């Protein structure tokens, strides 16, 4: 029995029920899974104190491979589901995972609203610029002119820039990583979990089966680490964060793009001042009940 313990490398490998990922060999999501495990290990989070919530898609299978509470919800609905669970028990460490179709396509409305609420959630998107589980259709981050099953003459639509969308929507922690560099990714997830507020981490996680354009090699050629090339950047500078987020051509920055401290939704919700909802008493006292009736007479 390991469920009550801190998540260790061992417990991750041998869950109570051992389930191995069903991802294609070489899938970028393996790097994200191992980085998430490492980050929670570093933070010494106990398995029962953590909740991992996902939507639907290859990457959304991730909660099934982590020894923690998990919700494998509907396509696009991970963020509202996680929000409900977090508000019910804000002592839980809640990590939300999913893909670009799940988060920026069908779930984009929730993405924007979750960020402007600044809930204390960590949202890790495995962005492979394609719909993988449905066998290779264009996604909201598929690059212009990219030929996919549903864009046989090349994609005519402009891709979403998730980082800029996050910045203008009010995320208080915005970062980008590459699953080919798991140590760097793991450190960002760790920072994201430590951040009080909505942390968004967009992770380039190559699909080796359906995206032959945005490959490991393609990313390796272009990415650079912000902390290496711009060590003096102020991550709280919004304008600088926006220009950094805009850079997506021959050179693509990864690392912490933006971070600012603001009160979280949980901090400002008066009902939660009395502790987690799940611990609060049920029902109504007679005095208040009588008062509520009297007010209508």
Considering the complex, state which of residue 77 and residue 233 has its C-beta at the smaller distance from another protein. Answer: 77
Cβ distance to another protein smaller for residue 156 or 297: 297
Measured from the CB atom, is 51 or 185 closer to another protein? 51
Smallest gap from Cβ 78 to another protein, in A, equals 9
Query: What minimum distance in Å lies between the beta carbon of 200 and another protein?
Result: 17
Report the candidate in 96, 100, 166, 92 with the shortest Cα–Cα distance to residue 124: 96
Judged by CB, which is closer to another protein: 7, or 174?
A: 7
Q: What is the smallest separation between the CB atom of 212 and another protein, expressed in angstroms?
A: 24
The answer to whether the beta carbons of residues 72 and 96 sit under 8 Å apart is no
Q: 88 or 236: whose CB is closer to another protein?
A: 88
Q: Nearest approach, Cβ of 6 to another protein (angstroms)?
A: 12
Q: How far is the CB of 211 from another protein (least distance, A)?
A: 21
Any residues with CB less than 8 A from the CB of 16 and at least 6 apart, and which? 1, 2, 3, 67
Tokens of 197: 């507020």
Q: How far is CA 128 from CA 208, 212, 257, in A?
A: 9, 11, 20
Q: Which is nearer to another protein, 135 or 274 (CB)?
A: 274
Nearest to 74, CA basis, from 48, 109, 98: 98
Give the footprint of another protein on this chain (CB under 8 A).
1, 3-4, 16-17, 19, 22, 46-49, 51-53, 56, 61, 63-64, 66-74, 77, 80-89, 91-92, 109-110, 112-113, 269-272, 274, 277-278, 280-286, 288-290, 292-293, 296-297
| Burial (Cβ within 10 Å: 0-12, 13-18, ≥19) of residue 9 | exposed
Q: Are 54 and 62 in contact (CB under 8 A)?
A: yes
Q: Report the nearest approach of another protein to the CB of residue 37 (Å).
A: 14
Cβ partners under 8 Å of residue 87, min gap 6: 119, 265, 266, 269, 272, 277
Report whether 30 contacts 70 (CB < 8 A). Answer: no
For CA atoms 136, 142, 145, 146, the dihedral sign is negative
């Amino acid at each position: 029995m390991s469920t009550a313990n801190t998540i260790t490398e061992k417990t991750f490998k041998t869950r109570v029920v051992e389930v191995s990922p069903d991802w294609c060999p070489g899938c970028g999501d393996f790097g994200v899974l191992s980085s998430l495990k490492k980050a929670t290990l570093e933070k010494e989070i106990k398995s029962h104190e953590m909740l991992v919530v996902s939507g639907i898609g290859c990457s959304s299978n991730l909660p099934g491979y982590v020894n923690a509470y998990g919700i494998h919800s509907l396509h696009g609905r991970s963020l509202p589901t996680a929000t409900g669970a977090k508000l019910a028990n804000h002592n839980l460490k809640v990590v939300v995972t999913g893909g670009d179709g799940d988060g920026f396509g069908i779930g984009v409305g929730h993405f924007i609203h979750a960020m402007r609420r600044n809930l204390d959630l960590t949202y890790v998107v495995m962005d492979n610029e394609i719909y993988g589980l449905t066998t290779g259709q264009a996604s909201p981050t598929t690059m212009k002119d990219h030929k996919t099953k549903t864009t046989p003459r090349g994609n005519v639509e402009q891709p979403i820039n998730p980082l800029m969308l996050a910045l203008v929507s009010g995320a208080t922690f915005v970062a980008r990583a590459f699953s080919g560099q798991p140590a760097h990714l793991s450190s960002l997830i760790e920072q994201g979990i430590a951040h009080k507020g909505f942390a968004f981490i967009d992770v380039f996680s190559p699909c080796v089966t359906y995206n032959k354009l945005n490959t490991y090699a393609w990313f390796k050629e272009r990415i650079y680490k912000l902390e290496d090339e711009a060590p003096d950047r102020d991550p709280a500078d919004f304008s600088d964060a926006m220009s950094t987020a805009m850079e997506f051509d021959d050179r693509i920055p990864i690392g912490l793009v933006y971070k600012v401290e603001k009160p979280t939704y949980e901090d400002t919700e008066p009902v939660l001042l009395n502790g987690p909802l799940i611990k609060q008493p049920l029902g109504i006292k007679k005095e208040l009940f009588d008062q509520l009736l009297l007010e209508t007479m």
